[in-house]
């Protein structure tokens, strides 16, 4: 019972508040269209009729939660039951496309980030020269260079998954570099001196002290990187109509004013991000426990 | 036969800082013989830790000479001639106590079976048998510091350099560890350099006490202890003990009067 009070209840309260705001918001934003329709049909709406209308429009400005939920069910569970899980109209299909680009970009970005961090920590010249470029790279709006990257790569014959993964990588390597540089430098001067008294080589100091010491920092930055990778994959799907993906789904939705479809893709992306970040959290807990660092 | 282990001659070390040069050590000459227990005592800034770090090749002197086992500190460090115990235990939280003690052995390339054998031996020396599978956070501060001493002993160097190893521990634990350290020293016959700022600790442990004073860091007195090798804790109430402690205190006071 205590557990319920401390952990579940606060979450439920926040979720309930969000839903309440959402429903009120969709009344406010969709009311005008409801009245316009009524005016054209020359009928007058009571308040309850108006509310009912704002929550059931076909192309509302802000769809109500139950409309989005129904759309998500229609394009996931319902299709799965009917054996059309990977149909082109299914959110699972689009989610899978985005997921594969996200994961590939995340893996590439993490490897790049770790390698850069190792270089920066061990080489003063690299510390001075590379770090400013890494920071500068993140000040360029990704939405501006994503189309260029895709067009340029397409021109040299690379298309499909890889261009999207490269944009994911571009966003996700940054938190890994920053976190790992901090993590690899987290060993204090005393521990470095201690290694020196044992006449340890640089690789020994790296593998036995710096790398294990950086693990808590690594996992924190991997979580940020995963979220960034997903954003990168979706942004990469927006500029040109790609063959599917949650970003493409949002784009098509916006072409045809299908707000319910946009919102369901949005929610699917959020759920996907939450699952991926939670997965890293589980791996983190397992790793740190095995290392004896989690009490 | 030459039994000099550490020999410093006119040793000076000056740090260049933004506020001008700081004379951490000035014209230090000292000889330490095999099997001695030498304490360095003095107020902070007197260079006692710096002197120990010079012996360990963690700092380079700017003038004078120093040899460890007849060679430079660097060569001694490369030959793994000394174990160094820092102020904090500095155990790796991701390694067990056994793993921490084996760490220098892994680095030095000892075979696995030899590592385990040495681990058991030093665990016995510091009275930590049965704790090798525990992680550092499961142990008290005093036990952690004992583990760090075991780690410094694991590769069986003849010299043990200790920089205020018990400084962060409470009085009761400290007394206990002092007693254990003396027993350990008697058993292993190592040469020990021990930095402290506690007069009773220095007098209780040492065969020789080097009193230092700051600005510039220098030796003001070297006191040979007349205490017997066998030292129960209550020796600290004996007249000889108090007399030595008095002389140390005088030495410290003289060093201070110089600059106030």
**pLDDT surpassing 60 at residue B257:** no
**What is the pLDDT averaged over residues B127-152?**
91
Residue A188 has pLDDT above 50, yes or no: yes
Check CB contact of B180 with chain A, cutoff 8 Å. no
Residue B150 has pLDDT above 80, yes or no: yes
Question: If residue A202 lies in a helix (H) or strand (E), which one and from where to where?
Answer: helix A202-205
Cβ–Cβ below 8 Å for A194 and B137: no
A37 touches chain B (CB under 8 A): no
The ipTM assigned to this model is 0.88
Task: Decide if pLDDT at B1 tops 50.
Answer: no
- Is cis: bond before B216, omega within 30 of 0? yes
Average pLDDT in the A82-98 region?
82
CB B54 within 8 A of CB B224: no
Pinpoint the alpha helices (H) of chain B. Answer: 48-55, 73-78, 97-107, 112-125, 141-153, 171-188, 199-205, 239-257
Domains and CATH numbers, chain B: 4-81+163-257 (3.40.50.300), 91-156 (no CATH)
For residue range A36-89, what is the model confidence (pLDDT) as tens digits?
888 888 888 888 888 888 888 888 889 989 989 988 888 888 777 887 777 777
Per-residue pLDDT at A242: 64
Quick: pLDDT tens for A259-287: 888 999 999 999 999 999 999 999 999 99
B77 touches chain A (CB under 8 A): yes
Is pLDDT at B251 greater than 90 in this prediction? no
Q: Mean pLDDT throughout B167-187?
A: 87
State the pLDDT confidence band at B260, using cuts at 50, 70 and 90.
very low
Residue with tokens 């410093």: B8
Closest among B5, B138, B134, B112 to B68, alpha carbons compared? B5
Q: What is the pLDDT of residues B35-45, one digit of tens each?
A: 999 999 988 88
- Whether residues A193 and B94 touch (CB distance < 8 A) is answered with no
Going from N- to C-terminal start, the domains of chain A cover 2-62, 91-290
Q: Which one of A202, A210, A292, A295 makes the best mutation probe of the B interface by having the most chain B beta carbons within 10 Å?
A: A292
* Distance between CA atoms of residues B161 and B41, nearest Å: 14
Written as one string, the DSSP assignment of A49-96 is HHHHHHTS-SS-SS--HHHHHHHHHHHTHHHHHTT-TTSTT-HHHHHH
- State yes or no: pLDDT of B160 exceeds 80: yes
Nearest-angstrom CA–CA distance, B68 and B8? 9
Average pLDDT for residues B198-207, to the nearest whole number?
92
C-alpha distances in angstroms, B123 versus A100, A254, B101, B140?
52, 70, 9, 16
Which of A198, A215, A293 is closest, CB to CB, to B108?
Answer: A198
Q: What is the pLDDT of residue B2?
A: 64
Residue A244 — very low, low, confident or very high, per pLDDT cuts 50/70/90? confident
- What percent of chain A is predicted at pLDDT more than 90? 43
Note the pLDDT of residue A241: 57
The phi and psi torsions of B222 (rounded to 5 degrees) equal -125, 120
> Which residue(s) pair with B222 in the sheet?
B210
Look-up of token digits 């921490």: B100
Closest CA to B58 of B73, B78, B42: B73
CATH superfamily of A91-290: MetI-like (1.10.3720.10)
A124 interface with B at CB cutoff 8 Å: no
């Amino acid at each position: 019972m205590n557990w319920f009070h401390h952990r579940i209840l606060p979450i439920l309260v926040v979720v309930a508040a969000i839903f309440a705001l959402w429903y009120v918001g969709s009344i406010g934003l969709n009311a005008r269209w409801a009245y316009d329709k009524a005016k054209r049909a020359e009928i007058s709406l009571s308040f309850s009729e108006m509310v009912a209308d704002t929550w059931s429009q076909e192309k509302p400005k802000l769809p109500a939660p139950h409309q989005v939920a129904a759309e998500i069910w229609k394009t996931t569970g319902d299709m799965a039951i009917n054996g059309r899980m990977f149909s082109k109209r299914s959110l699972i299909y689009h989610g899978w496309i985005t997921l594969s680009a996200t994961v590939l970009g995340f893996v590439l970005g993490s490897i790049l980030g770790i390698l850069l961090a190792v270089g920066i920590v061990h080489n003063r010249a690299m510390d001075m020269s590379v770090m400013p470029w890494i920071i500068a790279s993140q000040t360029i709006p990704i939405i501006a260079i994503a189309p260029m990257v895709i067009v340029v790569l397409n021109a040299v014959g690379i298309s499909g998954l890889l261009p999207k993964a490269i944009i994911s990588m571009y966003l996700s390597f940054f938190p890994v570099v920053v976190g790992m540089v901090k993590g690899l430098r987290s060993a204090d001067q005393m521990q470095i001196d201690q290694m020196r008294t044992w006449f340890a080589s640089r690789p020994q100091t790296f593998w036995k002290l710096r790398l294990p010491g950086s693990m808590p920092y690594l996992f924190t930055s991997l979580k940020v990187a995963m979220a960034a990778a997903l954003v990168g994959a979706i942004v990469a799907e927006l500029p040109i109509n790609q063959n599917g993906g949650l970003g493409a789904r949002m784009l098509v939705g916006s072409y045809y004013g299908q707000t319910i479809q946009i919102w369901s893709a949005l929610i699917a992306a959020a759920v996907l991000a939450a699952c991926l970040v939670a997965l890293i959290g589980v791996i983190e807990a397992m790793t740190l426990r095995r290392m004896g660092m989690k009490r | 036969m030459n039994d000099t282990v550490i020999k410093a001659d006119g040793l000076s070390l000056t740090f260049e800082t933004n506020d001008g040069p700081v004379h951490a050590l000035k014209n230090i000459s000292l000889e330490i013989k095999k099997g001695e227990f030498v304490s360095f005592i003095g107020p902070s800034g007197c260079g006692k830790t710096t002197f120990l770090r010079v012996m360990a090749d963690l700092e380079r002197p700017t003038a004078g000479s120093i040899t460890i086992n007849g060679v430079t500190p660097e060569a001694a460090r490369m030959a793994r001639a000394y174990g160094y115990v820092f102020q904090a235990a500095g155990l790796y939280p991701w390694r067990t106590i056994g793993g921490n003690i084996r760490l220098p052995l892994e680095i030095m390339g000892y075979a696995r079976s030899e590592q385990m054998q040495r681990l058991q031996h030093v665990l016995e020396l510091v009275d930590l048998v049965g704790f090798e599978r525990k992680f550092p956070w499961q142990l008290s501060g005093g036990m952690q510091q004992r583990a760090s001493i075991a780690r410094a002993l694991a590769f069986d160097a003849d010299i043990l350099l200790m920089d205020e190893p018990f400084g962060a521990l409470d009085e009761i634990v400290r007394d206990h560890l002092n007693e254990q350290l003396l027993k350990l020293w008697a058993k292993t016959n190592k040469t020990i350099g021990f930095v402290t700022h506690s007069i009773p600790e220095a007098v209780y442990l040492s065969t020789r006490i080097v009193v230092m004073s700051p600005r510039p860091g220098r030796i003001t007195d070297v006191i040979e202890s007349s205490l017997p090798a066998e030292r129960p804790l209550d020796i600290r109430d004996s007249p000889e003990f108090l007399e030595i402690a008095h002389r140390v205190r005088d030495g410290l006071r003289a060093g201070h009067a110089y600059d106030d």
